[in-house]
A and B are shown apart, each in its own frame.
Chain A
Amino acid sequence: MWDYTDKVMEHFHNPRNQGKITEKQEGEEIVTGQVGSIACGDALKLHLKIDEETQTIKDATFQTFGCASAIASSSALTELLKGRKVDEAMKLTNKEIAESLGGLPEEKMHCSVMGQEALEAAIYTYKGIPLDDHEEDEGNLICRCFGISDTKIKRIIRENSLTTAEQVTNYVKAGGGCSSCLPDIDDLIEEITTEQETATVEQEKSVEAATEVWTNRDSSSVETSTTTQTTKTLTNLQKITLIQQVIDTEIRPILAEDGGDMELFDVVGDVVKVILKGACSGCASSTETLKLAIEATLQDRVLSTLTVESV
């Protein structure tokens, strides 16, 4: 059970300023900022009534779907906002929200972050500034101390080619608290290293395949060799037939070695749409490397301007 402060529980049981704002007077504007989603398990709509002349927040209310600390954070946020100037409100941090509640458990700090983001969204809307997409931190929670998921840790490992859990701690804090998640971070590093090694092998294989075809060209397969040489004058039908042929005779057998498979879905202009199946279809990053490998083979064999899209 979470170790909530009395203040959190008090706000949870008696939330301030819940609901929408419906009434406004001349010279006032109502704006709404919304963050989160029902899929993530928490979502917040923050409504602000702003006096245009003084640029002051006259009223703030909320509607929240979420746990006790999400509701308490929203409630505390509306209290902090009332009477603030818009520009001052912009400076409000999630830490202030948490502090006003006497602190939040580390794993629940995201509730205060959600409050801060909703505020930002509301003020941006008010000022007409377009909103960036916030990174969705979905996935399995790995570091409970800092609330960091495997999705985020993997991304950081990939982007920065990290090789030790200690590096991960330096980049995103994960592992820097109680350290009980370090073995899991080690596992993620291993997973990505293996993934990258396989990807390199895949690429080498596809290059090999392409070269093999190249060397075979004059000798054996007559149909294909003629068409490859006349790439520029390919009719659409010829192009599709050739792509299908290369896929069936050269790409699928290689994929099959690793338990994978693919299907030609459509060809639109120079875009070859394929369906990846089997062993590799679930994993986003191996899909990406596979796609590149297939693209390389098709460019080499059929037409250099082809691109591959997985659908």
Chain B
Amino acid sequence: MTNTIYLDNNATTKIDEDVLAAMLPYFTTYYGNPSSMHTFGGQIGKVVRQARSQVASLLGAEESEIVFTSCGTEGDNAAILAALKAQPKKKHIITTEVEHPAILNLCRRLERDGYTVTYLSVNSKGQIDFDELEASLTGNTAVVSVMYANNETGVIFPIEQIGQIVKEYGALFHVDAVQAVGKIPLDMKTSTIDLLTLSGHKIHAPKGIGALYVRKGVRFRPLLIGGHQERGRRGGTENVAGIVALGKAAELAQQHLGSIGREKILRDKLEQGILAAIPNTAVNGDPDNRLPNTSNIGFKFIEGEAILLSLDEYGICASSGSACSSGSLEPSHVLRALGLPYSVLHGSIRFSLSRYTTETEIDRVLEVLPGVIDRLRELSPFNSDDADWLQEQEQAVLAR
């Protein structure tokens, strides 16, 4: 197998070696339960506290505002459900069309349970319309949940402006920051955010650990009801090794925020290289307003999976849509929400970099990608904009 060139960091990331080193002793030497009444277990409470402080520091939050969870999905679910339980009379939720399934599918489920959900639309750059938000907000709105940055396109929402509007209507404000944490500086002290989700495996900690920020004062009822762990906000014996890892990863992420510009330079090199070398390609989303590590590019006339499997031959890992969408046959709901034509929709690829990405790797991608795209376009019956069959079909789609 050729060396792996991993450009799928929005799906998951490699565990940082320092993170791994920090967590390993909690599987072997220090396997105690922090709740125990003996030193062997009890001493572990200290490291959990330290990790909590590291995570709090990355967010500009207080330690008591951090609840450890098992993943981003749990954080999202716990946040929305807690917000609803805190305001039992309010039956309306606002979110966007482009959220992660952890939010969207939960909202669809809640609609069945009698809640009304507004899914804010986005324009071709992936941005919501403030007027639509204001028009949707009422005294009945319990929670507004908007992601900080989109996992597929990297587009960043103007979270604080949204939060200002939300606060005027007295709703709680949840932000899925799974993709933003470690890539954008966050400061809960000056923020309008009430609840914020993050996930360990997107910031070089392992899978199976995450955290939820709960602003002091917000009434939070647990999703997992059980013991007194996490001050009763999440039952279940602590995933100590995971928590230690998340703490260390948060500390490293904070250090790395200063040098995030390097990722952006590489991302831009990759993107500009692709656009220059391959005709009929375009950047999806808002080029001027997105995560520094993400590039989503539409290659017309061909299908994403075929591109991914061709790149895989060279050890290059990327993704088409989100990992979830590429396990099903549907085009990505995010790209669809941008209103992209079908000729681009199915052939869009996301490259997402990390602090481990090197310039040599980017050069290698730029070397092989044009050939891959060329070969697949040769195979395609729609290899130019004016292929009759394509024209016919686009008309048919428009007519629908």
| Residues of A near any B CB (own CB < 8 A) | 2, 9, 12-13, 15, 18-19, 34, 37-39, 41-45, 63-68, 70-71, 107, 110, 140-141, 144, 147, 187
Contact = CB atoms under 8 A, between A and B. Distances in A.
A65 B313 contact: no
B382 A38 contact: yes
A67 B393 contact: no
Given A64-B380, A66-B306, A38 B331 contact: no
B381 interface: yes
A34 B390 CA distance: 12
B393 A18 contact: no
Contacts of A63: 379-381
A146 to B, nearest CB: 12
A107 B329 CA distance: 8
B306 A67 contact: yes
Given A18-B379, A63-B379, A63-B380, A71 B397 contact: no
A292 B16 CA distance: 64
Max chain A Cβ within 10 angstroms of own Cβ: one of B112, B301, B330: B330
Contact of B329 (A15, A41, A45): A41
Contacts, number: 74
B394 interface: yes
A97 B170 CA distance: 60
B121 interface: no
B307 to A, nearest CB: 10
A294 B329 CA distance: 39
Contacts of B303: 41-42, 65-67, 70
A152 to B, nearest CB: 13
Given A64-B380, A65-B301, A34 B393 contact: no
B18 interface: no
Given A38-B342, A71-B306, A64 B379 contact: yes
A39 B397 contact: yes
Given A39-B342, A39-B393, A70-B303, A141 B379 contact: no
B337 to A, nearest CB: 15
A44 B381 CA distance: 7
Contacts of A107: 329
Nearest to A39: B342
A42 B397 CA distance: 15
B396 interface: yes
A144 B378 CA distance: 31
A261 B112 CA distance: 24
A42 B328 CA distance: 14
Contacts of B346: 38, 41, 65
Nearest to A41: B346
A79 B9 CA distance: 40
Given A63-B380, A66-B303, A37 B329 contact: no
B342 A71 contact: no
20 contacts: A2-B305, A9-B309, A15-B379, A37-B393, A37-B396, A38-B390, A39-B397, A41-B303, A43-B382, A44-B381, A63-B380, A64-B379, A64-B380, A65-B302, A65-B346, A67-B306, A70-B306, A110-B329, A140-B330, A187-B112
B360 to A, nearest CB: 25
Contacts of B306: 12, 66-68, 70-71
Contacts of A9: 309
A49 B207 CA distance: 55
Contact of B394 (A34, A38, A45, A67): A38
Contacts of A15: 379
B343 interface: yes
A140 B329 CA distance: 9
A38 B393 contact: yes
B380 A147 contact: no
A144 B381 CA distance: 28
Interface in B373-400: 378-382, 389-390, 393-394, 396-397
A241 B324 CA distance: 54
A12 B331 CA distance: 21
Given A65-B381, A67-B304, 5 more contacts: A9-B309, A65-B301, A71-B306, A71-B379, A141-B330
A107 B306 CA distance: 16
A63 B397 CA distance: 21
Nearest to A46: B381
B305 A68 contact: yes
Contacts of A144: 328
Max chain B Cβ within 10 angstroms of own Cβ: one of A43, A44, A187: A43
Interface in B231-287: none
A187 B393 CA distance: 33
A65 B345 CA distance: 13
